[in-house]
Structure 1
Amino acid sequence: MESHSVLMLLNPLDLVTLFVFFACWWGYAFYAQYNSKRRSCLVSVLHQFRLAWMSRLLRRDNRIADASVMANLERSSLFFASSSLLIIAGLFTAFNYSEKAIGILSDFYLVSPMSQQEWELKIIVLVAIFSYAFFTFTWSVRQYNFCSVLVGSAPLATERGIEDSERELYAMHMAQICSLAANQFNYGLRAFYFAMAFCGWFLGPYFCMAASVMVVAVLYRREFRSKTFKTLSRGLVMKSHAS
C-alpha cells in the first residue's frame, strides 16, 4: 500500500486521530522519562529499592532467593513477549478475513462503517504496535539475563581483597541493569495499553482519542500519584531512617 494511497484513505478527522494517539503515547513516554530523573515516581523509587537489594545481596553468600526473584521477573517479560506473538498471529488472521470481519462488525451499532482498506490499515498499525512490544519485552528478558550473570559473578561476602567501594560500585551496576530491564518491560506494557486505546478507532475516531487521553491519565496516576507509589515512598523513607 503506497503512502499516497494511505493518505487518501484517511479523512482529516482520521489524521487528527492518529496525531492525537501518537502524541499521547510518545508525549507521555518523554514526560515520564524526563520526570523520572527529576522527581520521585515509581521508576525512581523502585531503582532505590533495587540498589538496596543488590547491596544486601553482596553481604550474603546464599543467593538462591535472589536468583529465584530474578527468574520470576524474567518470566513476566517472557509471558508478555509470547502474548505479543499470539496477538500478532491473530491480527494476521483478521487481516486475511477482512471482508468477513467487516461484515460481522457492521452489525454492531457503535462500530463506525469502514472500507476494507481502512480495516487493513488499522490492523497493520496494531501489528506494528505489538511488534514493538514483542521486541521490547524480549530485550527486557535479555537484560534480566545479563543481570543474572552479574548476580552469579558477584563477589561473595567472605571473599577477601575486595574494597567496600568496589562492592558498592558493583551493586550500582547490577541495580542499573535491573532497572533498565524493568524500564523496557514498562515500555512494553505501555504499548499494550495504547494498543487497547487504538482499538477504540474501530468504534470511531472520537473513541480512539478519548481512550488515548484516558490511558495517559491512568498511567500518570499509577506512576506519580497512586497509593502503591506513596506506600513505596514511605517504605523508602523508613529504610533510610533505619540505615
Structure 2
Amino acid sequence: MELLNQLRFFTSLDAIAVSYLLLSWMVLGYIIESPPKSRVSTSVIMADYRRKWMVQMITRQPRIFDAAVLDTLRQGTAFFGSACLIAIGGGLAAISNTERLRGVAQDLTIDVPEIIWEMKILLALILITSAFLKFIWANRLFGYCGVVMASVPNEIDAAETLPRAKKAGELNIAAARAFNRGLRGIYFALGALGWFLGPIGLLITTTMTVFILVRREFASASREVLLQDET
C-alpha cells in the first residue's frame, strides 16, 4: 500500500517523458545506421572509408601503421567500457544509499519519495549498462578484425588476399557500429539525468541530446570534409 502511495508521484507526464527518451534512443539509432540515400550519416560515410582502409592495407609492407590504428581504436573501447563500469558502480551505490537520496531531495527542496529517485537513477543505469555491453562487444570485434588482418597474405596476388581484407573491413565496420551505439547510450544516459529536474526537464534534455546527435551525424563540419570531392 505504501509503495502504491509513493508511485502516485510517477505521473503520466513522467511516463511520456521516459517513453520519449527510449523511443528517441532506438529510432535515432536506426536512422543513423540506415539513413536515406539522399542524406547519409557520418557513420555510414566512415564505414566506406573503413572498407577502403582494409583494401589499402594489402599494399603496405610492413603493416605496422594499420596495426597501430587498430590498437588505438581498441584502446578507445576499453577506456569507455571502464568508464561505464565505474558509472554503474556509482549508480548502484547511490540507489543502495537511501539516506543520501533523502538528503539530496531535501537540499533541492523536492518532495519526492525515494523510490522515484531510484527509478530516475535506474533509467540512466540501464542506458549506461547497454553502452558498456556495446563497448565490450566492440572491443572483441576489433580483436577479430586484427586476427583476420594478420591472416591476410603478404602476396598481393594471392587468391585469399582481397577476400580476407574485405572480411576484415566488414568486421571493422561491425565493431565501429557497436562502438557508436555505446556512445549514443552515454549521450542518452546523460540526457536521462534531466529527469531529476522533473518530466519537463527530461523532455528538454532528451530533445537537446537528439539535436546534438543529429547535427553531428548529418550536419557537422567533419561530415562536409568527408564528402568533399577528392579529384
Same fold (TM over 0.5): yes
Distance 1:87 1:43 in 2: 26
Q: 2:197 aligns with which of 173, 186, 203?
A: 203
Name the CA shift for 1:54/1:5 in 2 (closer, same or farther; >3 Å).
farther
2:120 is aligned to: 122
Name the CA shift for 1:12/1:86 in 2 (closer, same or farther; >3 Å).
same
Distance 2:22 2:156 in 1: 52
Q: 1:231 aligns with which of 195, 202, 225?
A: 225
Deviation at 1:129, TM superposition (A): 1.5
SS of residue in 1 equivalent to 2:93:
helix
1:74-153 maps to which residues of 2 (within 5 A)? Answer: 74-108=74-108, 112-153=110-151
1:35 is aligned to: 35
SS of residue in 2 equivalent to 1:59:
coil
| Percent of pairs with identical residues | 29
SS of residue in 1 equivalent to 2:59:
coil
- Residue identity matched to 2:165: A
Q: TM-score, structure 2 length as denominator?
A: 0.91
Q: Is the 8 A contact 1:133 1:187 kept in 2?
A: yes
Distance 1:200 1:120 in 2: 14
Deviation at 1:106, TM superposition (A): 2.8
Runs of 5+ consecutive residues of structure 2 not aligned to the other structure: none
2:215 is aligned to: 221
Runs of 5+ consecutive residues of structure 1 not aligned to the other structure: none
Q: Is the 8 A contact 2:59 2:156 kept in 1?
A: no
Q: 2:181 aligns with which of 180, 187, 191?
A: 187
Q: Is 2:16 the counterpart of 1:16?
A: yes
Distance 1:68 1:201 in 2: 41
- Residue identity matched to 1:184: A
Equivalences, count: 229
Regions of 4+ moved over 6 Å? 3-7
Name the CA shift for 1:6/1:181 in 2 (closer, same or farther; >3 Å).
farther
- Residue identity matched to 1:96: S
